[in-house]
């Protein structure tokens, strides 16, 4: 079981005629390419990955020890710089880290002084919004390391964020397991532990259709929802968007902050039973915001569909002057009509949130980081390099709403 320790500069439009600053448009899709080149020697090992959101709407960062090359073959100082670069994109929001410990050996184990340096350099900016650090397959080395680190760790609160995970299936209580970037070596190690110790082992069983209610909205297809409710916009989307539009446009950090897990589960249960949710009674505007994100992430197929995953990743290769037209074509011709209408409905809300960004502190870039991986993901596991393209695409949709969705 899980146990805690003690502790675009501007874009100008005039009716149907518009002029776009091509240098700005190009920046949407080239910033991440430049960053990838800067840290190419580190990023190619895929030690660090981003795996969407957890069950509570918090970003999931994965660190795999088995992907660390021998110490003589990697510059650990650059690895630290790369880690900070990746985290800098998410630390303003609530997030969690999953650390796969298996695969750390005498050959690739960093020096203790480097680990201490990590803790010191990843200061309050990084620790404040870290909500959980899951250490998967801990060993005695981890326990010894924790005792060594205690003199350097003054925060009891930080210690409580650290959780042991003995078997992978235990993560299912907190994360979307199918979107985790789990290295094959870790999967094999876990299988051996399970075969040897025989714990309760639910993951790997396909129960996606088991016990599905006719009224269910979370974890099903859009077709399932439409067949019962008879409407294109799912009630969960309609109700959350309506409430947020009327009550949450000025709420600081809307869509960025997580929400109470117990309340979220209760809201999902009501929606799944076809009940109407009174968000005013819930008393927290972040509840409907996170409920909307979870709805999108829990769809059996992403709102933008699996078929559009590769075309979106390739969009940065399209000539600058053709990108707006290509995005319009993709959405108008390749996206199912229902998906298009739901996407348009949600993105319109996001443009309204941006209009209030001086108060709520959520501009299009912030919203894109939140919504990019919830609108589109691959059938397999997403790579860290792809996250930038997904986020850029989400930002592009928000910033160019009137030109993209004028069907």
Per-residue model confidence (pLDDT) at position 97: 93
User: Residue 347: exposed, middle, or buried by beta-carbon count in 10 A (0-12, 13-18, 19+)?
Assistant: buried
Per-residue model confidence (pLDDT) at position 376: 93
Per-residue model confidence (pLDDT) at position 188: 94
The closest of 105, 97, 106 to 180, measured between CA atoms, is: 97
> Distances from the Cα of 296 to the Cαs of 274, 339, 376, 383, in angstroms?
17, 11, 9, 20
Q: How many Cβ atoms from other residues are within 10 Å of residue 176's Cβ?
A: 18
The closest of 201, 233, 228, 199 to 214, measured between CA atoms, is: 228
Cα atoms in the Cβ-side hemisphere of radius 13 Å centred on 28: 34
Per-residue model confidence (pLDDT) at position 381: 67
Per-residue model confidence (pLDDT) at position 304: 96
Rounded CA gap, 316 and 312, in Å? 8
Per-10-residue mean pLDDT, the chain, length 407 = 40 35 49 64 90 82 94 93 90 89 92 83 84 91 71 62 90 80 91 86 45 91 94 96 96 90 92 95 92 94 94 87 89 93 97 97 94 89 77 94 84
pLDDT digits (tens, 9 = 90+) for 113-145: 888 888 788 888 888 888 889 999 998 878 777
Question: How many Å is the Cα radius of gyration of the chain?
Answer: 22
Question: Residue 396: phi, psi to the nearest 5?
Answer: -60, -45
Question: Residue 119: phi, psi to the nearest 5?
Answer: -60, -40
Per-residue model confidence (pLDDT) at position 407: 54
Tokens representing 237 are 């989307």
User: Residue 131: exposed, middle, or buried by beta-carbon count in 10 A (0-12, 13-18, 19+)?
Assistant: middle
Per-residue model confidence (pLDDT) at position 257: 87
């Amino acid at each position: 079981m899980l146990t805690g320790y003690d502790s675009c500069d501007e874009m100008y439009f005039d009716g149907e005629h518009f002029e776009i600053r091509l240098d700005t448009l190009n920046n949407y899709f080239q910033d991440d390419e430049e960053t990838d080149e800067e840290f190419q020697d580190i990023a190619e090992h895929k030690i660090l990955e981003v795996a969407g959101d957890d069950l509570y709407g918090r970003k999931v960062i994965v660190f795999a020890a088995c992907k660390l090359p021998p110490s003589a073959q990697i510059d650990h100082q650059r690895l630290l710089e790369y880690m900070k670069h990746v985290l800098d994109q998410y630390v303003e929001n609530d997030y969690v880290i999953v650390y796969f410990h298996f695969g750390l050996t005498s050959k690739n184990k960093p020096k203790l002084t480097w680990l201490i340096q990590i803790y010191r350099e990843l200061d309050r900016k990084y620790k404040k919004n870290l909500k959980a650090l899951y250490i998967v397959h801990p060993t005695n080395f981890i326990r010894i390391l924790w005792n060594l680190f205690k003199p350097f760790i003054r925060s009891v609160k930080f210690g409580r964020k650290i959780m042991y995970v003995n078997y992978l299936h235990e993560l299912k209580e907190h994360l979307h397991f199918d979107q985790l970037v789990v290295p094959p070596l870790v999967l094999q190690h876990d299988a051996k532990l399970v075969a040897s110790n025989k714990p309760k082992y639910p993951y790997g069983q396909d129960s996606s259709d088991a016990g599905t209610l006719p009224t269910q909205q979370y974890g099903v297809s859009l077709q399932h929802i439409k067949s019962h409710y008879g409407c294109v916009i799912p009630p969960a989307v309609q109700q959350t968007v309506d409430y947020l539009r009327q009550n949450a446009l000025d709420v600081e950090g809307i869509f960025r902050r997580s929400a109470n897990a117990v309340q979220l589960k209760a809201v999902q249960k009501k929606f799944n039973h076809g009940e109407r949710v009174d968000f005013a009674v819930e008393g927290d505007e972040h509840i409907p915001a996170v409920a909307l994100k979870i709805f999108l992430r829990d769809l059996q197929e992403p709102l933008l569909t699996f078929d559009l995953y590769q075309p979106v990743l390739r969009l940065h290769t399209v000539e600058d002057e053709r990108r707006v037209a290509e995005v319009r074509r993709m959405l108008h011709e390749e996206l199912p009509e229902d998906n298009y209408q739901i996407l348009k409905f949600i993105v319109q809300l996001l443009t309204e949130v941006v209009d209030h960004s001086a108060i709520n502190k959520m501009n299009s870039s912030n919203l894109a980081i939140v919504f990019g991986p919830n609108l589109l993901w691959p059938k397999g596991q997403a790579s860290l390099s792809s996250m930038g393209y997904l986020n850029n695409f989400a930002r592009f949709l928000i910033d160019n709403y009137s030109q993209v969705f004028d069907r």
